[in-house]
Amino acid sequence: MNTTVKYLSDTRVRATIKVEATELKAAEQVALKKLSKTVKVNGFRKGHVPLEVVKKNVDPNALAQETLENALSRAVAESFIENKLQALERPEVEVKKFVPGESLEFTAEADVLPKVKLGDYKKLKATEKKISVAKKDVDEVVERIRKSMAEKKEVKRAAKLGDEAVIDFVGKKDGEAFPGGTGNDYPLELGSGSFIPGFEEAIVGLKAGDKKDIELTFPKDYHAPDLKGKKVVFETTVKKINEKALPELNDEFAAKTGPFTSMSELTADIKRELEAQKKREASDELKDSLVKQLVAKSNVAVPAVLREDQVRSIEQDLMQNLMYQGLSIEQYWEQKGYKDRDAWVKAEANEAADNRIKAGLVLSELSKVLKIEATADELADHLNTYRKQYANNPEMAKRFEEPEVQREVANRLITEKTVDELVKLNTK
């Protein structure tokens, strides 16, 4: 077999492949074995006919076609492997010449993983941000814990900021109730900013049993297109007013929050957690910066097929995140001023996809240069960690036994080790 490869672009190749007679003979033998399973010859059991007999009793055109398909499949695979080409899609094959038993010439065209020219990965600008945890940072956490442990006591007085008002409400636009605008026995902390501006302030001064029509205008940037900038009326009934009594900050309070005997132990623990969190954030920022720098210094093209796949992945992730916020992707496009999906892809998604792909290709090449691999023990440890995480989901945990999933975990591990090595090389 003889192969000539021509790059049509940085990401697409055309391989011209010539298959010799001996290789066609081997392909013919495979074809005959396949056809032998169905051919009927007197004196022989079905599926047990000698190949030389099969050849005499099958349609020559069917044999030629089966031989051609087998030869094409094998030649494409072998030529791409031999030339270190990784096809990203099924190659487009065009037969130029085929003489059964003698010769085959064809072209195979496909998008492939591009060659990556790494920039200097040892001379990047790397400085990990210094971290510090101020007393106010610790105090803010303590206050959040304190509020979460507040005791509620019903009071008969008028509501004030900081109280919890238990309310029924129906939001109406143009006299009609709108979706998501109704609530019963809803516990609203006054001053929390949970509702649109003006609502909580309008509750202040009301008592249990009071009713009030609260006229408001939704913000112009509100996520729901049907409500942004619209005037509405909330028909509201106050059911109950609860005063929230905050616990004293003492050793007893500390003991209720965890395995602490004093406030000093609690605050020390909070400080350690905040320091660890900030350390992780600083480390992640450093890694992101180094990878972005290396990508910028490297030369790597983005195959269209990978870009399309990555855009779909970004779209799915975005839709999931929006769902948690009660938004659709169409609403997101409208908020951002995009006419449709195509406009979003062109203005936002393509760039994000390209950045992800370039980073992946560059790090993959760097792992090869640095000869970074995932050992069997490292892979086993990672797989066990994932299995423990999904201990309550046996079906999900079982997936980590699948070879494809294990390869994904191994690739992720190699990427992590490569980034760690990149940090070491640039922070000596």
What is the CATH superfamily name and number for domain 279-425?
Trigger factor, C-terminal domain (1.10.3120.10)
pLDDT, one tens digit for every residue, the chain (428 residues): 899 999 999 999 999 999 999 999 999 888 888 877 776 766 676 666 677 766 777 778 888 888 999 999 999 999 999 999 999 999 999 999 999 889 999 999 999 999 999 999 999 988 889 999 999 999 999 999 999 999 999 999 999 999 999 999 999 999 999 988 999 999 999 999 999 999 999 999 999 999 999 999 999 888 777 888 999 999 999 999 999 999 999 999 999 999 999 999 999 999 999 999 999 999 999 999 999 999 999 999 999 999 999 999 999 999 999 988 878 899 889 888 899 999 999 999 999 999 999 999 999 999 999 999 999 999 999 999 999 999 888 888 899 999 999 999 999 999 999 999 999 999 87
CB 349 within 8 A of CB 315: yes
The CATH class, in words, for 2-111 is: alpha beta
Q: H or E segment at 235?
A: strand 231-245
- Provide the residue type at 413 as one letter: L
The separation between the first and the last C-alpha atoms of the chain, rounded to the nearest angstrom, is 50
CB 283 within 8 A of CB 128: yes
Q: How confident is the model at residue 251, as a pLDDT?
A: 97
In angstroms, the CA 19 to CA 283 distance is 54
What does the DSSP 8-state code read for residue 328? Answer: -
Three-state DSSP at 50 gives coil
Q: Where are the domains of the chain?
A: 2-111, 151-245, 279-425
Q: How confident is the model at residue 46, as a pLDDT?
A: 65
Longest dimension (CA), the chain: 104
The CATH class, in words, for 151-245 is: alpha beta
Alpha-helical (H) ranges within 239-349 are: 251-257, 263-297, 304-324, 329-336, 341-344
CB 164 within 8 A of CB 241: yes
Q: Please state whether the predicted TM-score (pTM) of the whole model is above 0.85.
A: no
Q: How many residues does the chain have?
A: 428
Q: How confident is the model at residue 310, as a pLDDT?
A: 96
What does the DSSP 8-state code read for residue 410? Answer: H
Alpha-helical (H) ranges within 37-175 are: 51-57, 60-82, 135-148
Three-state DSSP at 376 gives helix
